[in-house]
Amino acid sequence: MISSIFDKTKPVNFIILLVFLFLFYWSVQFYLFDYTFSEIELASSIAVLVTLLFSVFVVDFVVKRNKLTGSNSYAILYFTLLFVIFPESLGDSDAIFTSFFLLLAMRRLLSIKSLKNIKLKIFDAGLWICVSSIFYEWAILYLILVFVAIYIYEPKNIRNWLIILSVGICFFMILYGTLVLLDETSFLNNHYHFTVDFNSLFPIKWWSNIKLTLYALFNIGLGFWIFIHLNKAGMGKFVVMRLIGLSFIIGLVVNILVTSENTNAVIITFFPSVVYIVNYLESVKKPKFLELILILSIVVPILVFITKV
């Protein structure tokens, strides 16, 4: 039943998931975080929610446009379900904005494989990553993806490498000019300090959280399984999947480096996780087994959330 609903891309699938995510977001705010909103806080929460809902469309567009998955709605289904597994991430607006801009960067980065307008796509991807660093300074590490993409697709053109420098200059000029107008130039020193708290890293905080640990190990194991079975998919998809895998690893590193107690940056790893999960689901040939996986994927996270609340 569930597989028949989400096996195709239908408008009703978006309606179901967006309504659920809308209701779930407010449920988390009121029951998990026990927030009381003022008018300003309500307006900012609505902006965060709109960004979150629009992220669903971006995820669907990226996976379909780059043929990362088949013509189904499993990607947006699991993108939504991951919020049920990690409801704490909905309390971190910086993480939601960071994830959104990184999705926009991935959209441009993955499209480089067409070998058209490479320089423009490199610039756009780099700029979106820089914008995401306004919310999490360590998100700047995702520029590694841009360098890797250049190395894979067109490394001999020196101008491609220089574009990253132009991105940095352009971003700094726009950001600094905006901060001058707002009289908030101290933001640069206060935000982009890139300090590492080694006391909080050892032992690494991820290993003190069973849910995050299992999530990381699950995706790493799933990644190995996918690469083993990618021989028939062709070199193009193999390269794209390597970029997806690298983005997940960078996301784990960012989660480790972000040491503030009020942050929950796991959302930035949702997109690569979704791509891996859906690729596995599409390899399942037995309809009944697939239906069982989908049912458990929906029921178990909801039950866990209800018992926690």
Given a contact cutoff of 8 angstroms between Cβ atoms, the answer to whether 264 and 89 are in contact is yes
pLDDT of residue 75: 94
pLDDT of residue 100: 97
pLDDT of residue 45: 86
Q: In this structure, what token pair is assigned to residue 240?
A: 């794209």
The Cα 171–Cα 121 span in angstroms is 16
pLDDT of residue 205: 53
Gyration radius of the chain over CA positions:
20
pLDDT of residue 126: 96
Any idea which residue has 């494989």 for tokens? 113
DSSP string, 273-306: HHHHHHHHHTT---HHHHHHHHHHHHHHHHHHHH
CB neighbour list of residue 267: distance below 8 Å, 6 or more residues apart: 82, 83, 86, 89, 92, 95, 96, 98, 99
Global pTM reads: 0.93
Biggest CA pair distance of the chain? 61
pLDDT of residue 228: 82
pLDDT of residue 48: 93
Q: What is the pLDDT along the chain (309 residues), one digit of tens a residue?
A: 677 778 777 788 899 999 999 999 988 888 877 666 665 677 888 899 999 999 999 999 999 999 898 888 999 999 999 999 999 899 889 999 999 999 999 999 999 988 899 999 999 999 999 999 999 999 999 999 999 999 999 899 999 999 999 999 999 999 999 999 998 988 888 888 877 766 655 545 554 478 888 899 999 999 888 888 776 655 567 788 999 999 999 999 998 887 665 678 899 999 999 999 999 998 888 888 888 998 999 998 888 788 765
pLDDT of residue 153: 92
The Cα 134–Cα 141 span in angstroms is 13
Please return the burial class of 276, using the count of CB atoms within 10 Å of its CB with bins 0-12, 13-18 and 19+. buried
pLDDT of residue 39: 59
pLDDT of residue 188: 87
